[in-house]
Amino acid sequence: MRNALLRCKSCGANYDARTPTFRCECGEPLDLVWDGGEGAAEKRTDRAIFFPFEEGEWVSLGEGNTPLVSVKDFADELGLADVQVKNESANPTWSFKDRGTAACVAHARALGFSRIGTVSTGNMAASVAAYGAAAGMEAVILVKGDTDEEKMAPVAIYGPTLLRVEGAYDKLYKESIRLGAELGIYFMNSDVPFRVAGSRTIAFEIAEQRGFSVPDWVVVPTSAGGNLRGIINGFEDLLSAGLTDRMPRFLCAQAQGCSPIVAAFDAGEERIKPFESPHTIAHAIENPFPPSGNRVLAELRRYGGVALGAKEKEIVKAQKHMARQGFFGQPASCVPLACLRNAREEGLVAEGSTAVLIMTGSGLKYTAAFQAHKLKWKDCKLKELAEKMR
């Protein structure tokens, strides 16, 4: 691993990236500082240029390089020049998490760890378990005591050490960090620096796939805030590498049923407060107190972004409309379409703009959402088939 720095954008402190440092002493998250490397002139966004790792430190399952697809129906409906879907369900474990997991595994290997871990019940648990298996590292996955079998089994299949833990979730999270340090387990939880650094590749690919023309808006479903921070950092790195000529604006998309960042943004606050009684079908982004929330607020304001919420029925409608265009995303990953619609209605996004929606994960990750749709099919006998198909 090359020499690199982790920087706190909030207080300015720097840390050596060749140490297991996961958060600034001030309490805010850390960002990998791109050192300006080589290759910019060749219009390349290879990981060798933007990450401090040696090629042998990476373990890849083929993450990234996901499709970016223009959807004319959405552009026409919204009066926009182009609406594109970045389909992250095409990743190895069907969500964007694989990008951050791959970067964290490279970091863990570079630092000599043999065990990795995470606290999660959803996309991240499956991702860390899969990469642990691929890297030949033991993966310790901690999940909440009330997690049901339907969610345990798709993680267990990768063969991790899977522990279902009774007790308060916030305490479990803190315990994981304490025990990780004590027992030498690299916990790649929500917004650790290299998970965020991995998310930068979403920005790199969007730029590349658009011929290095930056969209006006990038719409990101936001939970902990790490993915949005990573995408912002990625566009910053592209700009400082001279590969692009401007920054896009960012729409932080949340479900109204759990929208602590939207609440603080609307109130003009600099710090988020815990969201009371969160509940939403967009389960994957139901985080009542996002650890990167303060940082996201600052970045949104810096680049003229906005934070908006979507109602439950708007999310279900967006999921249906995405599917009717061929994209089956989990409810959380359909929140961007719902929020972009609201942003157009409120006049926050100008007519004729271009927008990219980040579809973070597959609809098959949350089949409970089928109940929200009145899905129909017909039964018939073989001899009636010709008549029914006519």
The residues that touch Zn ion, with contacts defined as CB under 5 A, are: 8, 10-11, 13, 24, 26, 28
Q: Is 255 helix (H, G, I), strand (E, B) or coil?
A: strand
CB of 24 to Zn ion, least distance (A): 3
Of residues 26 and 163, the one with the C-beta less far from Zn ion = 26
Backbone angles phi, psi at 295, to 5 degrees: -65, -40
Of residues 192 and 241, the one with the C-beta less far from Zn ion = 192
Residue 291: Cβ-neighbour burial (10 angstroms; 0-12, 13-18, 19+): buried
Distance between CA 158 and CA 131 in Å, rounded? Answer: 9
Looking only at the bridges linking them, the beta strands covering 217-221 and 249-255 are parallel
CB of 91 to Zn ion, least distance (A): 31
- With CA atoms as reference, report the closest residue to 161 among 195, 116, 205: 116
Backbone angles phi, psi at 229, to 5 degrees: -60, -40
Of residues 294 and 353, the one with the C-beta less far from Zn ion = 294
Of residues 140 and 272, the one with the C-beta less far from Zn ion = 272
Of residues 158 and 194, the one with the C-beta less far from Zn ion = 194
Cβ pair 294, 265 in contact under 8 A: no
Cβ pair 341, 217 in contact under 8 A: no
CB of 192 to Zn ion, least distance (A): 15
Distance between CA 355 and CA 185 in Å, rounded? Answer: 40
Of residues 28 and 191, the one with the C-beta less far from Zn ion = 28
CB of 30 to Zn ion, least distance (A): 8
Cβ pair 202, 114 in contact under 8 A: no
Of residues 26 and 364, the one with the C-beta less far from Zn ion = 26
Instruction: Label residue 12 left, alpha or beta by phi (over 0 means left) and psi (-120 to 50 means alpha).
Output: left
CB of 31 to Zn ion, least distance (A): 11
CB of 238 to Zn ion, least distance (A): 25
CB of 28 to Zn ion, least distance (A): 5
CB of 14 to Zn ion, least distance (A): 10
Q: Characterize 298-320 residue by residue with b for buried, 16 or more Cβ atoms within 10 angstroms of its Cβ, and e for exposed.
A: ebbeeeebbbbbbebebbbbbbe
Distance between CA 165 and CA 145 in Å, rounded? Answer: 5
Cβ pair 73, 83 in contact under 8 A: no
Looking only at the bridges linking them, the beta strands covering 68-70 and 82-87 are antiparallel
Of residues 105 and 297, the one with the C-beta less far from Zn ion = 297
